[in-house]
Structure 1
């Protein structure tokens, strides 16, 4: 009986020793893992991929029709008729605004009668010349008077009956029937709206980057309209102290209107397979730039060469390749060769 009790005690002791040894092994392994991870800096990474990149210069400006003309009064007087309203399409030479024929500054009736009389005389003298019944000198005198009277009559018509210089849309009418106006007062504006144009004013540095043929965009009511740079100035405007460039946009359905103030974006550069890094991840020291990447569990400071910048994005020309894992969080806590632990 006593020997059985002794044996039982030894079994208990052996079991306790085995348990303590087991616990010691687990603790040692845990401590080892803690020590290893304790030397690693936790970082978040993002594999770099090729993506589309563009650089734009933006300007606020007003739009106008590709052709746009404001007709003004040549004489003062009362407006007799306004034949169209804003938005109407008119053909070349259609009369838009009329002054009365009895306007004293024009003497329209006198010009009309003089033209009609000299036309009859010219036609009679031409017939006589063809029949050999009058001299060339007599005919030449009649012809000269006819041409002068014809021109005077045409000028009187142009002064009193203001027509459309080309096919287009009336975009503004500044007078009403019955208004009394002075000479050189704007009457109406006509424009061709199938295309729109914008003049942008730039700095010297910007005009060097802009080239004829570059694409441009405006966004209006959620729709993007594409255009191109058609012309740029070679000299600085002395009043504005700036250079200008002109941009033309297609305008299907005449959705863009003259006078709209919009932001014009001129695309000066694009790369369809660019490597892009946010500006805040780039380290700048003296003349060198670098980013941190993870290679084989270690932080590596990678020297880079940058290209264009747009917003917070920077184009990388050299130093990175697709698939490189850039440290996006924790980069300020590492140094070259530092052990890191990638976390989400």
Structure 2
């Protein structure tokens, strides 16, 4: 028996349309984390526990490092003992002062004796307050021996290891939050006047094939490059699943004033093959690849240039593994 033919591949299609669309400008920028912090230790000490490593994701308030606190705990214990001794002496001084105050009212005690009791009580009170502050300071320093994440994010860099000494203010880790991404792009001055804050832009990350994101213009900085006559524009966008990393190349598409005629197809019709983009043109129950160039992005559609015309049918589902001339089964739209 001969080899059986594979069944036709099921596909869905869309119609190529020609419409008036807004003019667009595409420029290249670089992604960066909006929130990034070099987390530091407030106090000095030897690293006792360092549970994180580069690339780890940590939640807010997760422990990043613990410094040795043995000496501080011993000093705290001694300070508490002294404070309690002073507290006991202060109670006795309060009782004596209260008794002398009653005797003074009936002129049954010399003024000098009362004054000595008063000064003794005041001196013990100040000594107690001083020691209380010392205890509080030791307790605070012990608390600071543990450093926690100020926000959720990824460990970008490690700055210490177990057994190393950290000075006051010494760096522990570099922490970056990738929940939101910022992109800075230099826009020529003739276009920057057409942009408005909070307007939506489309972002394509070059290394994430066929992945499109939408952000908003966060700021148009008022200082430009005198030589290039460009102005920095900052764009913020959400980053679900942390797909976008800091430092990636991004292509940002801005909508400008004015319109133009363009061929529109759903973005799902476009297949990336190496450095080329193509669509599969449907004719009867056969498909043929057609190279296209994307020239704009509009609400889930793309404007393209290529050997297409209005009314053509392009495959939008099942096009990932099609071959030139392949027979397909056309499903209902």
TM-score after normalising by structure 1: 0.49
CA–CA distance in structure 1, aligned partners of residues 74 and 219 of structure 2: 48
CA–CA distance in structure 1, aligned partners of residues 191 and 82 of structure 2: 62
Question: Which has the greater radius of gyration?
Answer: 1
C-alpha RMSD of matched pairs (Å): 4.5
| Aligned counterpart in structure 1 of residue 21 of structure 2, from 48, 52, 65 | 52
| Aligned counterpart in structure 2 of residue 161 of structure 1, from 132, 146, 155 | 146
- Structure 2 unaligned runs (5+)? 1-16, 99-117, 263-293, 297-333
Deviation at 1:237, TM superposition (A): 8.4
Residues 1:270 and 1:143: Cα distance change in structure 2 (over 3 Å):
farther
Aligned residue pairs, count: 222
Residue 267 (str. 1) matches residue 254 (str. 2): yes
Residues 1:268 and 1:51: Cα distance change in structure 2 (over 3 Å):
closer
Counterpart of 1:228 in structure 2 is 216
CA–CA distance in structure 2, aligned partners of residues 115 and 236 of structure 1: 60
Counterpart of 2:31 in structure 1 is 62
CA–CA distance in structure 1, aligned partners of residues 68 and 172 of structure 2: 15
Q: Deviations over 1:160-214 (max 9, x none)?
A: 3222123x02332414643636646543233333322233345555544432112
Higher helix share: 1
**Superposition pairs for residues 188-267 of structure 1, below 5 Å?**
188-202=173-187, 204-205=189-190, 207-220=192-205, 221=208, 222-236=210-224, 243-257=231-245, 259-267=246-254
Paired residue secondary structure (1:227):
strand
Residues 1:145 and 1:67: Cα distance change in structure 2 (over 3 Å):
farther
CA–CA distance in structure 2, aligned partners of residues 99 and 213 of structure 1: 45
2:46·2:68 contact (CA, 8 Å) conserved in 1?
A: yes
Deviation at 1:119, TM superposition (A): 6.8
| Aligned counterpart in structure 1 of residue 164 of structure 2, from 153, 177, 180 | 180
Counterpart of 2:136 in structure 1 is 150
Deviation at 1:67, TM superposition (A): 2.3
Paired residue secondary structure (2:68):
coil
1:62·1:198 contact (CA, 8 Å) conserved in 2?
A: yes
